């Protein structure tokens, strides 16, 4: 894509190298197979070893735990390039890294970090994040899953819904109430009695991503799998979401760039009324508007990444970036679909696949409305959530 404002010059050499490695992976390994997986509603598990070899799982964590001490900007670029391939692939990396490896690193014991993180960084152990429930989405404090202390551990009862990686995961980071208000985190392995999953079928979005439900029926979790740092409560779980939402802001723009590139290429090549579609005024207006929003979001995401690397960003910054990126990416995908005419609905051109995926990305890990309220509360000092 054109770099009118020379944003590339703001990246350091390591960030560019990491980005180019993922770009090559997407071009060589993802795009040739993703149509088949999307159409068949199957997760491209054959890519897991190559993803692990890229070193992008938990990449912002210290090397001793399987990370590479990479910058948040580098991680953002990874998410951007992965989502040029497919949102489901970025979702997998985001869940593994931000929602599962991060809480073990941030809230886990040293023993837990050494036991799980290196294996997760090499995809030898896949994880999922259990927060959302059938009747608890935007209001996680209303969760019904309970954890009751018993000898040597905890008994967990409840269910979690719309969980990425649920049916392929070796472990789950599960959040449960230990009383009417206090929330705690647990590392629940799939081998624990009382833990089961089933896949959600018939999705029209994120079809190349595995989504499921977790059921916990008197599931015994030993004390050594309790996350001690989660004693800060629900904010611990929300801290994981902040990390993941950051990656989504970058990822959504990756999908937007893919749609823009497809629309630009198509309208320059497609002739109507004796000349390329791209020569018409309304087409150029659409392309200029799409490009403008991508550039604006890119620079916003980059500044957010730099702030995160300096520990100067919080959940409000991330909410604004996620809200903006998802909204504009979905608009861009829809406009690109329109510019491609009938070809816009074909998997061959990728655009409608991205558009359908972005319908989920727009909603998950905080709906557009909720992010507006977060920013609104910051601006006014008034809570409009209830």
Residue percentage of the chain with pLDDT more than 70: 100
**Burial class, 127, CB count within 10 angstroms (exposed 0-12 / middle 13-18 / buried 19+):** buried
Cβ atoms of 259 and 351 closer than 8 Å:
yes
Write out pLDDT tens, residues 244-302: 999 999 999 999 999 999 999 999 999 999 999 999 999 999 999 999 999 999 999 99
Asked if the model's pLDDT at residue 1 lies above 90, the reply is no
123: left (phi over 0), alpha (psi -120 to 50) or beta: left
Residues 6+ apart with CB under 8 A from 36: 42
Beta bridge partners of 129: 173
- Look at residue 386 and tell me whether its pLDDT is greater than 80: no
Give CA 240 to chain center in angstroms.
Answer: 11
Question: Quick one: which of 146, 28, 41, 138 has its CA closest to 374?
Answer: 138
20-56: per-residue pLDDT in tens? 999 999 999 999 999 999 999 999 999 999 999 999 9
**Percent of the chain's residues with pLDDT above 90:** 98
Whether 177 shows a pLDDT value over 80: the answer reads: yes
Q: pLDDT value at position 385?
A: 87
From the list 133, 293, 335, 365, the catalytic residue is: 365
Question: Does 365 participate in catalysis according to the annotation?
Answer: yes
Phi, then psi, of 175 in degrees rounded to 5: -110, 130
pLDDT digits (tens, 9 = 90+) for 298-317: 999 999 999 999 999 999 99
Using one digit for the tens of pLDDT, what is the confidence trace for 184-195?
A: 999 999 999 999
Going by pLDDT thresholds of 50, 70 and 90, the confidence category of residue 381 is: very high
User: How is 22-63 classified by DSSP, letter by letter?
Assistant: HHHHIIIIIHHHHHHHHHHT---GGGHHHHHHHT-TTTTS-G
For residue 171, list its beta bridge partners.
Answer: 127, 189
Query: What angle, 0 to 180 degrees and rounded to 10, lies between the N-to-C axes of helices 234-269 and 281-309?
Result: 150
How many C-beta neighbours within 10 Å does residue 189 have? 17
What's the pLDDT score for residue 370?
Answer: 95
What pLDDT is attached to residue 241? 96
Report the DSSP pairing between strands 153-164 and 146-150.
antiparallel
Is the Cα torsion angle 102, 214, 78, 237 positive or negative in sign?
A: negative
Q: Which domains does the chain carry?
A: 7-121 (1.10.540.10), 127-234 (2.40.110.10), 235-380 (1.20.140.10)
Residue 258 burial (10 A CB sphere; 0-12, 13-18, 19+): buried
Question: Which pLDDT tens digit goes with each residue over 80-134?
Answer: 999 999 999 999 999 999 999 999 999 999 999 999 999 999 999 999 999 999 9
Instruction: Read off the pLDDT of each residue in 322-340 and give the average, rounded to a whole number.
Output: 98
Structure tokens at 161: 């819904």
């Amino acid at each position: 894509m054109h770099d009118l404002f020379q944003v590339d010059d703001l990246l350091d050499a390591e960030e560019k190298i990491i980005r180019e490695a993922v770009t090559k992976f997407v071009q060589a390994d993802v795009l040739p197979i993703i149509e088949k997986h999307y159409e068949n509603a199957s997760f491209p598990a054959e890519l897991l070893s190559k993803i692990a070899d890229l070193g992008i799982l938990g990449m912002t964590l210290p090397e001793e735990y399987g990370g590479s001490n990479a910058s948040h900007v580098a991680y953002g670029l990874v998410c951007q390039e992965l989502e040029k391939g497919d949102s489901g692939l970025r979702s997998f990396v985001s869940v593994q890294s931000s929602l599962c490896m991060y809480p073990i690193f941030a809230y886990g014991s040293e023993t837990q970090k050494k036991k799980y993180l290196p294996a997760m960084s090499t995809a030898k152990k896949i994880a999922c994040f259990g927060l959302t429930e059938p009747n608890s989405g935007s209001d996680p404090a209303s969760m019904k899953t309970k954890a009751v202390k018993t000898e040597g551990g905890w008994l967990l009862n409840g269910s979690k819904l719309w969980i990425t990686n649920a049916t392929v995961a070796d472990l789950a980071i599960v959040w449960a109430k230990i009383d009417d208000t206090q929330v705690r985190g647990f590392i629940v392995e799939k081998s624990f009695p009382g833990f089961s999953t089933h896949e959600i079928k018939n999705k029209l979005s994120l079809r190349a991503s595995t989504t499921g439900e977790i059921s916990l029926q008197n599931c015994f979790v030993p004390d050594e799998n309790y996350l001690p740092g989660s004693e800060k409560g629900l904010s611990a779980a929300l801290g994981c979401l902040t990390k993941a939402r950051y990656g989504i802001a970058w990822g959504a723009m990756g999908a937007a760039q893919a749609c823009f590139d497809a629309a630009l290429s198509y309208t320059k090549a497609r002739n109507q009324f004796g000349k390329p579609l791209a020569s018409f005024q309304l087409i150029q207006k659409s392309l200029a508007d799409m490009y403008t929003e991508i550039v604006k979001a890119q620079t916003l995401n980059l500044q957010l990444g730099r702030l995160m690397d300096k520990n100067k960003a919080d959940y409000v910054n991330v909410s604004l970036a996620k809200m903006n990126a998802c909204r504009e990416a979905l608009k861009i995908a829809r406009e690109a679909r329109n510019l491609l005419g009938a070809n816009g609905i074909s998997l061959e051109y990728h655009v409608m696949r991205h558009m359908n995926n972005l319908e989920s990305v727009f909603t998950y890990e905080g709906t557009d409305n909720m992010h507006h309220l977060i920013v609104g509360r910051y601006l006014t000092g008034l809570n409009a959530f209830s």
